Amino acid sequence: MQRVHPEDSERQDRIEVRGGGPLEGPVAISGAKNSVLKLMAASLLTEGTFTLRNVPDIDDVAVMADVLRAMGVAVRRIGDALVIERPAAITPEAPYALTERLRASTAVLGPLLAGTGHARVALPGGDDFGPRPIDMHIAGLEAIGCRFEIAGGDVHATADNLVGDSVLLEFPSVGATENVMMAAVRAKGTTVIDNAAREPEIADLAGFLNRMGGQVTGAGTSTITVEGVEELCPVDHAVVSDRIEAATFLAAVGMAGGEITLVGARPDHMAMLCRKLGEMGVRTSPDPDGIWAMCTGRLRSVDVSTLPYPGLPTDCKPLLVAMLSVAEGVGIVTENLFSGRFRYVDELMRMGADIRTESHHAVIRGVESLSGAPVRASDIRAGAALVVAGLAADGVTAVADPHHIDRGYEDFAGKLSALGGDVRRLRPVG
Ligand code: UD1
């Protein structure tokens, strides 16, 4: 990885953070990235005009909009809404130039197959935290009548006749569960997905499909039943709140101290995280507006293990590692979902953190304080964790490659700064 030298950092797009005072006040939590991308894909299921509300203004949404546009769909943003006009005829193809920028574009497979009987989607490569295969998506879709062929880096799929069946997922994969749900909604007969993922974004997708006229029950549990229907209609739908963005602000208040309210956050979607943060010394409680949170004094170490929902989200892990690096004691973090998701650890160590990684474990010995340094974001959550770490560091932390953060956070620096954090987005001059 290319190292940022302090003299270069002036010329780079970056987020600069100065550690210091507490965070205070309300912060609005946006709609969930991991939901809206799938809802946009689901709009391929039928002709007509869809409106999605509470849509975060983030780069991943812009890329997914381009994926839809490449197929002939019109997508316009109006305020926090996205208006999607899906014409009768579309080109059911997602090109590599877009899928390599957005792995979640594989979510178009199911809706394209159900909506047009065809799909050609360029396979995205691996990413910074390991391989991201789609074998479970394919096995699940094959079980209900889709046929696949992989050639030239593309997945070619056809579905002349989707027929409901039982689909037993090897692992509760979020993406596979969603793809099968979106195809099964138009299949003939009943599909039962067992060992389904239970994430709140899956329940949001089920709500969206049901509003369209689908018959999906059990979303949010491990068994989802989809009765195929012949007709669907376009709808207006508000995206569920982003629990990972909310978690990021909880981590921020844990690091900087203070008292904040996450407006629009869903405490019922964050129970495990709030429990762990409580053990670490971050108090949270449901509030009429969302979630109230307060932290005073030094954090305490805990052991954490990532698991599918309702376990601790893997997406929160970099945030927890950052928090543990200044907590009192030793904490062990175990990653159970992705093979290598510890790249940001080197960057935290540049800031003075004491972390040892071995296979899918990280052992973090809390230090009294971090020291600001030039560091580089390697993915969305790692980038956010480095900014959050900067809140508890002496001096200046300059996080390079903030475009990773822009993929999933709407105005991250602006929201932190409105809470009183000394955080600025600096763009290169000239
Ligand atoms: C989604 C989220 C991501 C989150 C992850 C787990 C989106 C856009 N992304 O990703 O932020 O970290 O859920 O909560 O919603 N796997 C296979 N074969 C497959 C599918 C998955 O081996 O066909 C493996 C993956 O490599 C990974 C594990 O299963 O090790 C979980 O992946 P999955 O739940 O599918 O995550 P995504 O849907 O890709």
List, for the chain, all residue ranges whose pLDDT scores fall below the cut of 70: 1-11, 125-132, 340-341, 430
Atom of ligand 1 nearest to the CA of 132: 26
Q: Quick check: 422 and 13 in contact, CB under 8 A?
A: no
Q: pLDDT tens digit string along 244-269?
A: 999 999 999 999 999 999 999 999 99
Rounded distance, CA 289 to CA 266, Å? 9
Domains of the chain in start order, with CATH, are 6-30+241-426 (3.65.10.10), 33-229 (3.65.10.10)
pLDDT at res. 12: 84
- What is the whole-number distance in angstroms between the Cα of residue 374 and the centre of ligand 1? 30
pLDDT at res. 326: 98
DSSP string, 90-121: ---EE-HHHHTT-GGGGGGHHHHHHHHSEEEE
What residues flank ligand 1, with Cβ below 6 Å? 34, 37, 104, 132-137, 171, 173-176, 197, 313-315, 337-338
pLDDT at res. 64: 97
Which of 101, 132, 341 most suits a substitution to test ligand 1, by most atoms within 8 Å of the C-beta? 132
Q: pLDDT tens digit string along 120-166?
A: 999 876 555 455 689 999 999 999 999 999 988 899 999 999 999 99
Name which of 21, 29, 6, 13 is nearest 261 in CA terms: 29
pLDDT at res. 9: 53
Name which of 28, 22, 18, 17 is nearest 245 in CA terms: 28
Rounded distance, CA 58 to CA 328, Å? 35
- What is the whole-number distance in angstroms between the Cα of residue 421 and the centre of ligand 1? 32
Rounded distance, CA 364 to CA 327, Å? 9
pLDDT at res. 352: 98
Nearest CA to ligand 1 atom 2: 34
Active-site entry in 13, 127, 303, 394: 127
Residue 127 is among the residues annotated as catalytic for this protein: yes
Nearest CA to ligand 1 atom 34: 173
pLDDT at res. 167: 98
- What is the whole-number distance in angstroms between the Cα of residue 313 and the centre of ligand 1? 11
- What is the whole-number distance in angstroms between the Cα of residue 155 and the centre of ligand 1? 18
DSSP string, 341-378: --THHHHHHHTT-EEEEETTEEEEE--S-EE--EEE--
- What is the whole-number distance in angstroms between the Cα of residue 242 and the centre of ligand 1? 17
Residue 189: count other Cβ atoms within 10 Å of its Cβ.
13
Rounded distance, CA 81 to CA 387, Å? 28
Rounded distance, CA 391 to CA 322, Å? 10
Cis ω on the peptide bond leading into residue 310 (within 30° of 0)? yes
Atom of ligand 1 nearest to the CA of 136: 23
pLDDT at res. 2: 47
Beta pairing partners, 332: 363
pLDDT at res. 338: 83
